[in-house]
Structure 1
Amino acid sequence: MTIDIGRFSEAPSSDVEETGADSGQEQKPPELVYGSAEEFLHEQLLPTYVRDVDGRAAKWCLEWYFHPEAVSRVEALWRAWEHLRLDGATGISVWFKDHADHHMSVLLDPRGPFYKCDMQKHRDPEHMEPQKAPNGWFPDVRVR
């Protein structure tokens, strides 16, 4: 039986121009495999990162896109995957160890971003409403 582990095993596509450092031409970045974080979630992440989501040991919200933290973490997972898939040696290991295992543990944690949701119903997360610090405590350090 062969298990499809996604597109990590593919070599970079041949439409990436190989140019020498002396040629003065810029190398075109590799094309993305997925056009969005949502496509990545449905086509790559969830089919390969399979867990028993029972609501007690792991939670997920079917309307995950209403959770800003989840959107940000899925976006981070997608971008890291697109970069690391090009490393045919250790890319898949690095992606799982440093990215998927970390972010998915947070996302699936029963006390994580989906803590109020259950498998049948989305419930809006409660957002922290911090007060603004007094003027001058955190000056804008951007150069103007």
Structure 2
Amino acid sequence: MTIDIGRFSEAPSPSAEEPASPAGEEKKPPKLVYGSAEEFLHEQLLPTYVRDVDGRAAKWCIEWYFHPEAISRIEALWRAWEHLRLDGATGISVWFKDHADHHMSVLLDPRGPFYKCDMQKHRDPEHLEPKKAPAGWFPDVRTIPV
């Protein structure tokens, strides 16, 4: 039985790599498979990272895009996937172990960014409102001479 693991299988083999660029020429970055984090989420991530989202052990928000943390994590997952898909040897393993498992565990955690939401309704999260530290405690390091 063959299991479709998505677009990782499209990674170029070492023999299919382009020859080295002549001196002075910059090598073009590989073409992206997905044009956005949202496309990646719908086309690759959620179809391959399937979990039972029951609201107790795992939570998700149908309007995930209203959660800044979710957007950042999904963007990070997409960018890591686009990079690691090119490694035909261990790319998929590294992506799952170091990226997908970590970020999806945080996203799906009942106390994670979707803690107030359920599969039918989005509820705005409560944002932390920190006080500013006293002046001088955190100097702007960009202004300190090296």
Moved over 6 A (4+): none
Share of identical aligned residues, percent? 88
Deviation at 1:18, TM superposition (A): 3.2
The aligned length equals 141
1: CA distance, partners of 2:138 / 2:67: 28
Q: What is the DSSP-based 3-state SS (H/G/I as helix, E as strand, rest coil) of the residue aligned with 1:61?
A: coil
Aligned CA RMSD, in angstroms, stands at 1.7
Q: Which runs of 5+ in 2 are unaligned?
A: none
| Structure-1 residue corresponding to 2:79 | 79
SS of the equivalent of 1:38 reads helix
Deviation at 1:4, TM superposition (A): 1.4
* Structure 1 residues 32-67: Cα deviation after superposition (integer angstroms, max 9, x where no partner): 000000000000000000000000000000000000
Q: For 1:71, what is the secondary structure of its paired residue?
A: helix
| TM-score when normalising by structure 1 | 0.92
Change (3 A) 1:18 1:28: farther
Q: What are the equivalent positions in structure 2 for 1:1-144 lying under 5 Å apart?
A: 1-12=1-12, 18-20=19-21, 23-143=23-143
**CA distance in structure 2 between the aligned counterparts of 1:12 and 1:140, rounded to whole angstroms:** 45
Unmatched 5+ residue regions in structure 1? none
Residues 53-97 of structure 1, C-alpha deviation per residue, up to 9 Å, x if partnerless? 000000000000000000000000000000000000000000000
Give the letter for the 2:40 counterpart. Answer: F
